Structure 1
Amino acid sequence: MRKKLTLSENLLIGSLLFGLFFGAGNLIFPLELGQRSGANISLVTIGFLLSAVSLPILAVVATAASDSESLFDLSKAAGSKFAYFFTTLLYLTIGPGFAIPRTATTTYEVMFEGNESFYNSFGLLIFSLVFFALVLYFSIKKAKLIDTIGKFMTPLFLILLSILLIFTIFKPMGPVGMNLPTAKYLSNALAVGFVDGYNTLDAPAGLAFAIIIISNIKDLGVTDKKSMALETLKSGLVCLLAMSIIYAGLSFMGGASANILDDFANGAVILSQISEHYLGSLGHILLSIIVFVACLKTAIGLVSACSEMFEEMIKNKISYKTYCVIFSAVSLLIANLGLKQIITLSLPVLMFIYPISIVLIAISIISIFMGKRKFVYQLSLAVTAAFAFLDFLKTSPDFISKAPMVLKILDYANNSLPGYETGFAWVMPAVIAFIVGLIIDKKFLRN
Structure 2
Amino acid sequence: MNTLSKKDLSLIGLMLFSLFFGAGNLIFPPFLGQSAGDKTWLAMIAFFITAVGFPVLGVVAVAKSGGLTNLAKRVNNVFAVVFTVLVYLSIGPGLGIPRAGSLPFEMVVSPYLPQTISKSFALFLFTFIFFSVAYWLSLSPTKLINRMGKVLTPLLLLLIAIIFLGSLFKPLGSYSVASGDYSTNPLVKGFLDGYLTMDTIAALNFGIVIALAIKSKGIEDEKTVVSISIKAGLIAGGLLVLIYSLLAHLGATSGFRFGATENGAQTLTNVTTYIFGKPGAILLAATFTLACLTTSVGLITSCSQYFATLTNKISYKSFVRILSLSSMVLANLGLTKILAISVPVLNAIYPIAIMLIVLSMLDNLLKESSLVYKFTILFTGVVSIVDALSQVGFKLDFISDLLSKLPLYSQGLGWVVPALFGIILGLLSTTIKNNLSNEIFAQGENLK
Pair in the same fold by TM > 0.5: yes
Match of 1:384 in 2: 380
1:179 to 174, 177, 180: 177
Cα distance in 2 for partners of 1:209, 1:362 equals 17
Deviations 1:96-126, CA, capped at 9 Å, x for gaps? 1111112112211213423233573332222
| 1:441 equivalent in alignment to 2:434 | no
Amino acid at match of 1:435: I
Amino acid at match of 1:336: N
2:69 to 62, 69, 72: 72
Deviations 1:241-270, CA, capped at 9 Å, x for gaps? 100010111111111111333533332232
2:347 to 335, 340, 351: 351
Deviations 1:199-240, CA, capped at 9 Å, x for gaps? 111001111101110111122233323322221111111111
| 1:336 equivalent in alignment to 2:332 | yes
Deviations 1:245-301, CA, capped at 9 Å, x for gaps? 101111111111113335333322322232111111222222222222111111011
Residue pair 1:348, 1:393 contacting (<8 A) in 2 also:
yes
Residue pair 1:32, 1:267 contacting (<8 A) in 2 also:
yes
Distance 1:42 1:113, change over 3 A: same
Deviations 1:22-61, CA, capped at 9 Å, x for gaps? 0111001112211122332222222211101111100111
Amino acid at match of 1:376: V
Amino acid at match of 1:232: S
Cα distance in 2 for partners of 1:336, 1:185 equals 35
Match of 2:284 in 1: 287
Task: State the Cα distance separating 1:337 from its structure 2 match.
Answer: 4.0
Residue pair 1:41, 1:255 contacting (<8 A) in 2 also:
yes
Amino acid at match of 2:424: I
Amino acid at match of 1:105: S
Match of 1:125 in 2: 124
Task: State the Cα distance separating 1:158 from its structure 2 match.
Answer: 0.6
Cα distance in 2 for partners of 1:390, 1:46 equals 29
Match of 2:356 in 1: 360
| 1:61 equivalent in alignment to 2:57 | no
Q: Which runs of 5+ in 1 are unaligned?
A: none
| 1:10 equivalent in alignment to 2:5 | no
Q: Which runs of 5+ in 2 are unaligned?
A: 438-448
Cα distance in 1 for partners of 2:108, 2:128 equals 17
Match of 2:205 in 1: 208
Match of 1:113 in 2: 111
Residue pair 1:307, 1:324 contacting (<8 A) in 2 also:
yes
Q: Secondary structure at the match of 1:186?
A: helix
Match of 1:42 in 2: 41
2:220 to 220, 223, 241: 223
Identity %: 38
Deviations 1:391-416, CA, capped at 9 Å, x for gaps? 3134x24x44xxxx5455434432x1
Residue pair 2:10, 2:235 contacting (<8 A) in 1 also:
yes
Cα distance in 2 for partners of 1:221, 1:368 equals 28
Task: State the Cα distance separating 1:9 from its structure 2 match.
Answer: 1.8
Distance 1:260 1:409, change over 3 A: farther
Task: State the Cα distance separating 1:347 from its structure 2 match.
Answer: 3.5
| 1:432 equivalent in alignment to 2:392 | no
Amino acid at match of 2:411: T
Cα distance in 2 for partners of 1:95, 1:213 equals 17
Cα distance in 2 for partners of 1:58, 1:391 equals 25
Task: State the Cα distance separating 1:435 from its structure 2 match.
Answer: 1.6
Match of 1:165 in 2: 164
Distance 1:111 1:273, change over 3 A: farther
Amino acid at match of 2:348: F
Task: State the Cα distance separating 1:362 from its structure 2 match.
Answer: 0.8
What TM-score results when the alignment is normalised by the length of structure 2? 0.91
| 1:413 equivalent in alignment to 2:400 | no
Q: Kindly name which structure, 1 or 2, has the bigger radius of gyration based on alpha carbons.
A: 2
- Aligned counterparts, 1:251-290, within 5 A: 251-261=248-258, 263-290=260-287
Deviations 1:135-164, CA, capped at 9 Å, x for gaps? 112212223111111111001111111110
2:369 to 373, 382, 385: 373
Deviations 1:66-112, CA, capped at 9 Å, x for gaps? xx222122212222211111111111111011111121122112134
Cα distance in 1 for partners of 2:272, 2:174 equals 18
Q: Secondary structure at the match of 1:232?
A: helix
Cα distance in 1 for partners of 2:343, 2:312 equals 34
What TM-score results when the alignment is normalised by the length of structure 1? 0.91
Distance 1:345 1:246, change over 3 A: farther
Amino acid at match of 2:280: G
Residue pair 1:132, 1:328 contacting (<8 A) in 2 also:
yes
Residue pair 2:300, 2:323 contacting (<8 A) in 1 also:
yes
